[in-house]
A = this chain, B = another copy of it.
């Protein structure tokens, strides 16, 4: 096992995995700060901050940051999710120390120049515009909103334009002060990396910082709700969500296996019924997403306005059938897909690095593959059927629709069909 893990005195964590034969590496810092850490008046600030990290530090201009890794053929990127913000790079072996130097610089020393804040505000407003022109982005944001109403977890990551227009330097500094402590950061690296060198560098760069008290986000409570917006689009975009386990819940693999059986691939029930047998859609899938204390099993499909009602009923019928009729063959296939997908994903340094960070964030350690495989193997058809039954019986679902969706039944009708 080439995974190595170390925690500095102030709580800063370093996790690395050397991958034999590789000449490149992925390296990044994951911060426990995302959309759900924002108060309502801060909505969008975590993402705004991620952008501002690239706009200049005490030592580097925005151009210097852009050139630093591209000069050596690497690249630097970042993303904000609902629970984390990640700053990461992909570089050749020799440039790993440089990548860490740049990433630590943009995290620790951003200048938040007010002129740059104004410029970046324009960029983010365009990013919001791009998202609003992408119907499946829009409909999933609505699904999140109706599932977690009036909660941080239900708000968008980009934030509303009106809010983004108001953020100033002190809003950024305040969020950094609240959530960017060293004990909230994980340095992860995979590929052609040397653990001891990275630990020494991390000690030098982050060791002097002081851990701080961080407010834990409010617990999320999944709710039933519906949002429907009729618009002149080519497709009717249809989404459903059910409450699913959080990532520390023992049943999280059952949830993943169920969503794989239901809508995880070409052989899944939804793909076979809706696309292969009836030709109603091009895209249809189910997926299980999880957060610290809750999760969402979601179903998406894009179809015609004429067919959206029938497709919605088909999804409900397949959910109900899952509770009564779940074959060991299908569950065995889903287990194999999950295991093989994990193994193949781990051949890439980027996804391996991401997994290291995620595992440390969740468990404060990196479970071995064998441990994960054992948990996957333990999921049987009766467990999956029970899980499906509990979803159907919970009486809680949420729905978002966008496009020519006048013909779709309302949520109460679909819930009655599910319970029938």
Contact = CB atoms under 8 A, between A and B. Distances in A.
B339 A73 contact: yes
B123 A235 contact: no
Given A72-B340, A344-B90, A267 B63 contact: yes
Copies in the complex: 2
A335 to B, nearest CB: 9
B24 A21 contact: no
A124 interface: yes
A132 B234 contact: yes
Interface hub of A132, A233, A340 (most chain B Cβ within 10 A): A340
Contacts of A403: 133
Interface stretch (A195-203, A275-283, A289-297, A359-367): A275-283
A416 interface: no
A403 B134 CA distance: 13
Given A119-B276, A266-B76, A272-B63, A235 B336 contact: no
A67 interface: yes
Given A123-B279, A133-B235, A341 B22 contact: no
Nearest to A236: B129
A176 interface: no
Contact of A66 (B135, B271, B283, B304): B271
A333 B126 contact: no
B21 A280 contact: no
A275 B349 CA distance: 30
B336 A130 contact: no
Interface residues of A, number: 72
A122 B278 CA distance: 8
A245 to B, nearest CB: 23
Interface in A51-67: 54-55, 62-63, 65-67
A123 B70 contact: no
Contacts of A22: 347
Contact of A121 (B124, B279, B302, B304): B279
Interface string A252-277: 00000000000001110001100111
Interface in A206-240: 233-235
B129 A265 contact: no
Contacts of A124: 282
Nearest to A95: B340
Contact of A73 (B23, B123, B128, B337): B337
A118 interface: yes
Contacts of A313: none
A36 to B, nearest CB: 23
Given A92-B343, A233-B133, A347-B24, A336 B282 contact: no
A149 interface: no
A73 B20 contact: no
B73 A341 contact: yes
A235 B278 CA distance: 35
Interface string A100-123: 000000000000000000111111
The 10 closest A-B pairs by CB, nearest first: A73-B340, A122-B279, A129-B234, A119-B279, A66-B266, A127-B282, A66-B267, A73-B336, A126-B282, A132-B234
Interface of A: 20-24, 54-55, 62-63, 65-67, 70-76, 90-92, 118-130, 132-135, 233-235, 265-267, 271-272, 275-283, 302-304, 333, 336-341, 343-344, 347-349, 403
Given A128-B234, A133-B233, 8 more contacts: A70-B333, A70-B336, A71-B336, A73-B336, A73-B338, A118-B279, A126-B281, A133-B234
30 contacts: A23-B343, A23-B347, A63-B267, A63-B272, A66-B267, A66-B272, A66-B276, A70-B265, A70-B266, A70-B267, A70-B333, A70-B337, A71-B267, A72-B340, A73-B337, A73-B341, A75-B265, A75-B266, A91-B340, A92-B343, A123-B275, A124-B282, A126-B280, A126-B304, A129-B234, A130-B235, A133-B234, A133-B302, A347-B349, A348-B348
